[in-house]
Every structure is written in structure tokens, then in C-alpha cells.
Amino acid sequence: MSDALERLIGFDPFGEMSSPRRYLLLDVFAEAPLEGNQLAVFADGRGLDARTMQSVARELKLSETVFFLPPEAGGDARVRIFTPSAELPFAGHPVLGSAVVLAGALGRDTVVLETASGPVSIKLEPGAGRVRSGEMAQPLPSWERFGAADELLGALGVERSRLPVEEYRNGPRHIMVALDSEQQVASLDPDLRAVSWIAGEAGVSCFAGGAGRFKSRMFAPGLGVNEDPATGSAAGPLAVHCARHGESSFGERIEIRQGGEIGRPSLLQARAVGSSEALESVLVGGTTVMLARGEMFLD
């Protein structure tokens, strides 16, 4: 090994600086490391204001960054969730990934996280270590027809949606667009500026499939995420949408694959329990891989 490389390996530009903010880097809804949706989890967000949290998320440029805070409503911990450009009241892969971290620290299989959309219960498979699967009970979504469907289809570059274009809200907003084939989903090349103008801060989920297996791509340029590798908060509404319109059945667990077009293949599982008139629960699960750890100096 060269002298320069030896010196570089031992180089510490921070010296004796104190109070670093420690964080973990996770891959959520992943079948292997370096897949799924990336997530940064800061174990201690105390003393950071929203502006600083937003700046950290913008610096990291991941789909979402999470900050843990003490609970306020009887949960195990409170979380704040930021995309590079906005705070979200709830998001799927940040909640699942954060739950894996917290459950590991507590040595438990079930945790409750307080989000701005309310408490979310997450059940983890028994075990420990860097790879762990779990399932969350998401906030029940509301839904309505999306008023600018024709304009949105034009921005996506498609002629029609097989099902009604509807907007779901479970904290964040998600617009569902059903296409004719998985190949059509894969070949999408949307006008992201137009999508942002039409959809605002809603995510647009374009999907196709059947027999319990679907392919999805989600575009959210209005939130600073041009395309998301895995969207847990959209997986639940997608399961509801498919069950409501006969693409699957209530109570059936569906498999959703996402992210392949941007080099981050992801696997999500979701099921909607109940009926259109009486939705009982929406459950979304997958596997999380703890990949790396780091420190950030914000003093």
C-alpha cells in the first residue's frame, strides 16, 4: 500500500469535534443490499428545527430522511419525515425502515411510531441482525376522482387509463393510473415538469399486472423525487384501488415490483382488508437491509 493511501485511510478532518449526529443508511423493500429505496435514519433529532432537518434531507438527496424524537402520544417514538424538498405526514419506506432500527434497539418484534398522520403499528418478523422483514398497518386512505385526469395522461404520454384515475390520501396524496401492460409501464417517459404542475405534491403511480402481481412506477417531481424506487405509502392505496375495481380481491396479498428502471429493484407486498364500503385495514410489508452508518457534523 502506498504511503499516500495509508495517510488517507487514517485521515480525520473533523479531529476532536464533538456531538456528531449519527445516522444509519438503509435499503428498504430490498431483496439484497444496494436495492430497494434508500433511507437515512437519524437516531436523535432533538434540538434540530424543521429548517435544519429539511436542509439535511436536501444534502443527502435520498427519497426520504427520518429524524427520531421522543414520543408525545403513547407510542415508542415520534418520527419526522423529509423528502429533499418537503416534510411528509406519513411515508411507507421511512416508517418500515425506522421501525426495523427501533425494534432492533429495543429487542422487540412490535413497535408503534407516531407520525403526523397518527400512530402506525409495525410488526417485525422474529429475529435480529441487519436484514429484517416487517409489515405496517397504514392509515386508512380516502379517495376521489382526480379532476385533471386528461391533462395528467397527456403529461405521462399515454392515451388512457384502464381504470378511473383516482386520488388517494393517507397523509401524502397518490394518484393511480392503470396502464394496459407492464411493457407500457416500463417504457414511460413522462414530461416531469408538466406532471409537477398538474399533480402538485401528489405522487403519480402508474401500474399494470394481474393475478396478484403488479409492476409500478411512481413519479413525484413536485416533492423533489422524479422517480421513486419503492413507495410504501402508495402500495396500500394501490391494493385498495385494485380491490375496489376488481383487479384483485379484498384480503388478498398482492406483490408490487418497482424501481427497476432506475437501477433500484424493489419488492413490496400489500393487502386491503374489508370492502369499499367498510375498509378495515391496509397492510404493507417488505424487507429492510441496514447498509451503512455515518456521522454528520452540524455545529
Give the separation between CA 243 and CA 1, rounded to whole angstroms.
60
CA dist., res. 110 & res. 80, Å (int)? 20
Residue 64 is among the residues annotated as catalytic for this protein: yes
Q: CA 209 to CA 86: how far, in whole Å?
A: 31
Side chain identity, residue 124: L
297, 294, 284: which is closest to 41 by C-alpha? Answer: 294
> By three-state DSSP, how is residue 192 classified?
helix
Tell me if 228 sits within 8 A of 268, measured CB to CB: no
DSSP states of 43-54: S--TT--HHHHH
Q: What's the chain's length in residues?
A: 299
Selection from 221, 205, 196, 201 nearest residue 87 by Cα: 201
Q: Closest by alpha carbon to 57, among 28, 31, 88, 101?
A: 88
Catalytic residue among 64, 167, 227, 247: 64
Encoded amino acid at 6, one letter = E
* Catalytic residue annotation: 64
